[in-house]
Structure 1
Amino acid sequence: MFRAWFDEPKRVDSGPLLEAISAIGQYRKLLTQLIEEQTPQCGKYTRYELWARGLTNALDELEQSVYCGAKFREGVKETQEEKMSPEEKADYHRHVYFYKNGFIRLFSILDKLGYFMNDLLRLRSERIKQKFSYFTVLRQMQHRHAEPGLLQPLQLIKESYNEPMGRLRQRRNMEIHLVNTEMLDDLLHIDLCRADRSYIEDLNANMDDLRQGFEMVCRTMATVFAYVHERKKT
């Protein structure tokens, strides 16, 4: 959708995004077949199909945020906002908007996936925490020794992206909660009064974290849906 802003053709899915969308598509196709059979469980299958469709849409929206964040970053050359032209400053603020939108959506889609997994696999994570996250679901799987064939690859993916995801999580918490006690402790180690506030952040490093976070989400989604597809077939 947003590629039209930059006179670019429609996206052609590839790499981890293609793997994730294909895995969800295969699962939805299987559910559709089961729904058409009008079995007593067709209502449950319809609910999971709608859930999977929503996750597909959320993944598409996340990709567009990452794409726009990267495109608007290209128009930012200065490292100080005061030195930017009006056009460059507009690109900078658009970049910041889509970058923030991206990392907020990133954790949102993971949590939606966590609720899907919790329901489908009957993990009962809500007994631990009423509003649980995807990472709570992983811990619950480990605690209950549930679905080891799925847990192991998901843990490996999580560990592979620990550093960028940690930075993105901190950014998300700052954006949503402003400052919590842990972050306040971090800020106490910085001389805020003497800090030069005119320099903007490292936009390349930020976008690299966001791209890695997006890749983590795609790999996670592909792994989950490939697993539940095979699980449902057997």
Structure 2
Amino acid sequence: MFRSWFGEPERIDSGTLRQAFSAISDYRALLAGLIEKQTPQCETYTRYELWSRGLGNALDELEESVYCAGRFGALVTHRQEERMDGEELANYRRHVYFAKNGFIRLFSILDKLGYLMNDLLRLRTERVKRKFSYFTVLRQMQHLHADPALAGPLLDIKERYREPLSRLRHKRNMDIHLVNAEMLDDLLHIDACRTDRTYIEDLDASMDDLRLGLAMACETIATFFAYAHKKKRV
């Protein structure tokens, strides 16, 4: 959608992103066939279909945000805002906007997936914690020894991406609950307590984490929906 801004053709899905979209599509096709039969469970199937479609749309928007954050970040060469000209500062602000949208959307997607998993797999995580996250759902799966063929791979994915996700979660929490990400950068990089110099974070390292977060979301979604389709979990 946004690649036209940079004179590029539309994205061609590949790798784990393509796998995730394909797994969602297969599961939605399964649901569509069940919905056509107009059984008493039709309303539930329709709800899962809408849920799955929404996750696909959200994943597409996450990828677009990560892409834009990287493109605008690549146009920033200075580490201090005061040394940027108007165009570079505007590109930095655009980078911040899309990066922030990216890490907030990442955890939103995971939590939406967690609610779908909880409902579909009958985990009843809400009995443990009324407002739960995707990671709470994983712990509930472990506690109940539920669907080990799914829980095992999902836990492996979580562990492989633990460090970048921890940093991204910290940013998300700071942005939502305390101060926004740009202010956090200012606090961490303040120059000998001088407020006339505003350093920015390492954009390359930040983008590495964001791209790894996208990869984690893709692998997680692909794994869950492939399992749900194979086992015909509806």
**TM-score bucket of the superposed structures, by smaller chain:** over 0.9
Residue type matched to 2:17 in 1? L
Please give the TM-score of this superposition, normalised by the length of structure 2.
0.92
How far 1:231 moved relative to its partner? Answer: 1.2
Query: Which residue of the partner structure matches residue 232 of structure 2?
Result: 232
The alignment partner of 1:201 has SS state of coil
Query: Which residue of the partner structure matches residue 162 of structure 2?
Result: 162
Query: Which residue of the partner structure matches residue 35 of structure 1?
Result: 35
Deviations 1:115-163 (A, max 9, x none): 0000000101111111100000000000111110100000000000000
Query: Which residue of the partner structure matches residue 117 of structure 1?
Result: 117
The alignment partner of 2:232 has SS state of helix
Contiguous gaps of at least 5 residues in structure 1 = 180-186
Query: Which residue of the partner structure matches residue 173 of structure 1?
Result: 173
Please give the TM-score of this superposition, normalised by the length of structure 1.
0.92
Paired residues of 2:75 and 2:88 also in contact (CA < 8 A): yes
The worse-fitting range, judged by mean Cα deviation, of 40-49 and 131-140 is 40-49
Paired residues of 2:35 and 2:42 also in contact (CA < 8 A): yes
| Distance of 1:103 and 1:69 partners within structure 2 | 11
1:194 to 188, 192, 196: 192
How far 1:43 moved relative to its partner? Answer: 1.3
The worse-fitting range, judged by mean Cα deviation, of 217-226 and 28-37 is 28-37
How far 1:78 moved relative to its partner? Answer: 1.0
Query: Which residue of the partner structure matches residue 183 of structure 1?
Result: none
Query: Which residue of the partner structure matches residue 87 of structure 1?
Result: 87
Residue type matched to 1:143 in 2? H
Query: Which residue of the partner structure matches residue 7 of structure 2?
Result: 7
Deviations 1:63-91 (A, max 9, x none): 11001000101110111111111000000
Paired residues of 2:30 and 2:229 also in contact (CA < 8 A): yes
Query: Which residue of the partner structure matches residue 107 of structure 1?
Result: 107
The worse-fitting range, judged by mean Cα deviation, of 204-213 and 31-40 is 31-40
Q: 1:73 to 1:145 in 2, by over 3 A?
A: same
Report the identity percentage.
67
Residue type matched to 1:42 in 2? C
Query: Which residue of the partner structure matches residue 184 of structure 1?
Result: none
Paired residues of 2:189 and 2:199 also in contact (CA < 8 A): no
Residue type matched to 2:169 in 1? R
Paired residues of 2:31 and 2:46 also in contact (CA < 8 A): yes
The alignment partner of 1:79 has SS state of coil
Residue type matched to 2:148 in 1? P
Residue type matched to 2:216 in 1? M
The number of equivalent residue pairs is 226
| Distance of 2:102 and 2:198 partners within structure 1 | 24
How far 1:191 moved relative to its partner? Answer: 9.9
Query: Which residue of the partner structure matches residue 129 of structure 1?
Result: 129
How far 1:194 moved relative to its partner? Answer: 2.6
How far 1:110 moved relative to its partner? Answer: 0.2
Q: 1:158 to 1:191 in 2, by over 3 A?
A: closer
Q: 1:193 to 1:94 in 2, by over 3 A?
A: closer
C-alpha root-mean-square deviation of aligned residues, in Å?
1.9
Query: Which residue of the partner structure matches residue 205 of structure 2?
Result: 205
Contiguous gaps of at least 5 residues in structure 2 = 180-186
1:97 aligns with 2:97: yes
1:138 aligns with 2:138: yes
| Distance of 1:191 and 1:148 partners within structure 2 | 44
How far 1:38 moved relative to its partner? Answer: 1.6
